[in-house]
Structure 1
Amino acid sequence: MAKIGIFGSSFDPITNIHLWTASAVAHRCKLDHVIFLPCSNQRSDKQMHISDEHRRHLIRLAIKGNDKFVADDYEMKQHAWDIATYLTMEHFKEKYPDDEVYFIMGADLLVDIGEGKWKKSKELVLENKFIVMARNGIDMLSAIARSPILQNADDGQTFHLIDDGLAMEVSSTYIRNEFQKGGEPRYLLSESCYDYIRTNDLYQ
């Protein structure tokens, strides 16, 4: 039985922090694979700045050479009304029926789920396992304790909390702004991704 982490994000673009986070989580949680799952451009709460084709290609460039990292464009292919993390996790559990599948997320998203802001929040928590990374200013244990949705699922196995060393963030927004303003974000993303963005005049 393998342990698989689903790492969803806009990846617009994918950064070295994304890669470092995935590597650190895989090491600490003994994951066999981390699946990089770029979100759909049809999500009403997200605005992508480059095409799905470019985002997909950048991810593949960034993870090339790491056998633990896998790119999957499942959510990119879904219709807007079918996009929900609950349905995504159902898909991957069906795809890997003999493995343990975890959803990797930041503590800010844990709070949102606990407040019922996600589709099928209750079912999502009751039927899945999560790896939750610390975010500055968020007490994860308190977030679980004050949410009936999270508290009722806290059986000691549902949430794997990582509260040390993974709160460092360099946002994709910052990198996009650097490219747009003629800055130099070269060492904030992989060399291959940097070259691809420059060659294709992305984020200008």
Structure 2
Amino acid sequence: MKKIIIFGGSFNPIHNGHVNIATKALEQIKADRIYFVPTYKSTFKQAFNISDIHRKKMIQNIIKLNDRFHFNWYELNIQNDKSYLTVKYFKKKFANSQIYFLIGSDNLEKFHLWDEAEMMAKDCQMLYYLRDNQFSDHENIKKFNFLKIDGDNYQISSTKIRSGTQVIGCVSDKNLAYINEHGLYINDRLKHFLRSDERFEHCLRVGQLARKLAQYNYPNLAQKAYIAGCYHDLAKELDEKTMLSYRDQFDPKLFPEPYKKDLNYRVLHGYVGAWILEHQFGYDDRELINSIYYHTIINDDPTPLDKIVYLADKLEPDRVKQEINRYFKINKAKALAFKNIHQAFKLTHDEIRKYLQLSQKQES
């Protein structure tokens, strides 16, 4: 008799913890196959923040790691998150097979609240794996005849991956590249690092304008411009101690800019944001990283992407409400930027420099 394991979950994103648990379950149960079945909408959680297309693609990337790994979109196709229906579907699809259903121990506490939990436990053999030692001795284990999948305590968190605090080494290399290429979880990461709604909204506006400017001037840079624009102020609201601790990660011989004298710690946010993108989020696109690194203090030979991000930051819609618009007409420069990014950059950079010099004179 064949043994089939159903591994249900949000898989947002699927990560190395899921892969390790699936492998352990296959070995311990001596199963023929394990199916990753992404939920339509988690019963006890909010709606997903990425499309099903992305969740499915990242699962498909994982399937290639083991010939006993498979996927099934049943719950997505029927737009229903009732796991007991999934079990019935698999029992019909794999008649004369033993069906298992695998969950994390964090779901044990509420399993009795699942629709038709008792029926589900009779129709298949329930399995669980430990997550952070949660509910390792819960009464539902005995009540629903759960079997434990042995293995290392599973501590990787999809939530932390989405927030950007636990990324590198937690997802496959292919899925890390996929997440970064498609700019997944931008909102989650901005909300984690930023304290104010105003800065969050500013970052999104800059990303949107950067993409539009790129589409008119350098269409191949549109997606990259959007990501860089959104992340340009990622580190803007870090406190001084945190900002300086990130700054100290730079080798001053290779990166002298963050160590310039009389540099206010707030000006470091571009350098620090670039560091976070590379060393915490796992971005490896040097052009994108540099456009964030140099967006406040522009370098001597800016790339087209540098100019796009700089202009999007200076010309985003809310800038017209600021004092600078009385001196330098934002919308006029923006109109030029949609025609010639280089002329608009020179005009904007020169005018803002004059404005800052004038402001300093008035203050002194």
Cα pair distance change 1:118/1:184, threshold 3 Å? closer
Contact 1:107 1:140 in 2 (8 A): no
Cα pair distance change 1:16/1:111, threshold 3 Å? same
Displacement of 1:184: 7.1
AA at the equivalent of 2:158:
S
Asked which structure has the greater CA Rg, the reply is 2
Q: Secondary structure at the match of 2:113?
A: coil
Q: Secondary structure at the match of 2:100?
A: strand
Residue 165 of structure 1 pairs with residue 151 of structure 2: yes
Displacement of 1:198: 1.0
Displacement of 1:160: 2.0
Contact 2:6 2:35 in 1 (8 A): yes
Residue 119 of structure 1 pairs with residue 128 of structure 2: no
Cα pair distance change 1:39/1:190, threshold 3 Å? same
**Equivalent-residue separation in structure 2 for 1:95 and 1:173 (angstroms):** 33
Contact 1:7 1:105 in 2 (8 A): yes
Structure 1 unpaired stretches of 5+: none
Which residue pairs with 1:174 in the alignment? 160
Q: Secondary structure at the match of 2:108?
A: helix
Q: Secondary structure at the match of 1:40?
A: coil
Which residue pairs with 2:48 in the alignment? 48
Alignment of structure 1 residues 1-204 onto 2, 5 Å: 1-41=1-41, 45-80=45-80, 83-113=81-111, 116-135=112-131, 136-140=133-137, 142-145=139-142, 150=143, 154=145, 159-162=146-149, 164-178=150-164, 185-204=167-186
Which residue pairs with 2:301 in the alignment? none
Mean CA deviation greater in 194-203 or 37-46: 37-46
**Structure 1 residue runs of 4 or more that deviate by more than 4 Å after TM superposition:** none
Which residue pairs with 2:225 in the alignment? none
Q: Secondary structure at the match of 2:110?
A: helix
Cα pair distance change 1:45/1:28, threshold 3 Å? same
**Equivalent-residue separation in structure 2 for 1:42 and 1:137 (angstroms):** 19
Q: Secondary structure at the match of 1:7?
A: strand
Contact 1:134 1:140 in 2 (8 A): no
**Equivalent-residue separation in structure 2 for 1:137 and 1:109 (angstroms):** 9
Q: Percent identity?
A: 32
Contact 1:34 1:69 in 2 (8 A): yes
**Equivalent-residue separation in structure 2 for 1:186 and 1:144 (angstroms):** 33
Displacement of 1:9: 0.7
Q: CA RMSD in A?
A: 2.1
Contact 1:9 1:39 in 2 (8 A): yes
**Equivalent-residue separation in structure 2 for 1:105 and 1:169 (angstroms):** 14
**Equivalent-residue separation in structure 1 for 2:154 and 2:42 (angstroms):** 29
**Equivalent-residue separation in structure 1 for 2:166 and 2:136 (angstroms):** 35
**Equivalent-residue separation in structure 2 for 1:14 and 1:172 (angstroms):** 8
**Equivalent-residue separation in structure 1 for 2:37 and 2:21 (angstroms):** 14
Displacement of 1:142: 4.3
Displacement of 1:111: 3.0
Q: Secondary structure at the match of 1:31?
A: coil
AA at the equivalent of 2:62:
A
**Equivalent-residue separation in structure 2 for 1:52 and 1:137 (angstroms):** 28
Q: Going by fraction, where is helix more abundant, 1 or 2?
A: 2
Compute the TM-score of the two structures, normalised by the length of structure 1: 0.82
**Equivalent-residue separation in structure 1 for 2:118 and 2:183 (angstroms):** 43
Contact 2:84 2:115 in 1 (8 A): yes
**Equivalent-residue separation in structure 2 for 1:42 and 1:132 (angstroms):** 17
Displacement of 1:137: 4.2
Which residue pairs with 2:214 in the alignment? none
Compute the TM-score of the two structures, normalised by the length of structure 2: 0.47
Displacement of 1:59: 0.5
Q: Going by fraction, where is strand more abundant, 1 or 2?
A: 1
Cα pair distance change 1:67/1:198, threshold 3 Å? same
Contact 1:86 1:123 in 2 (8 A): yes
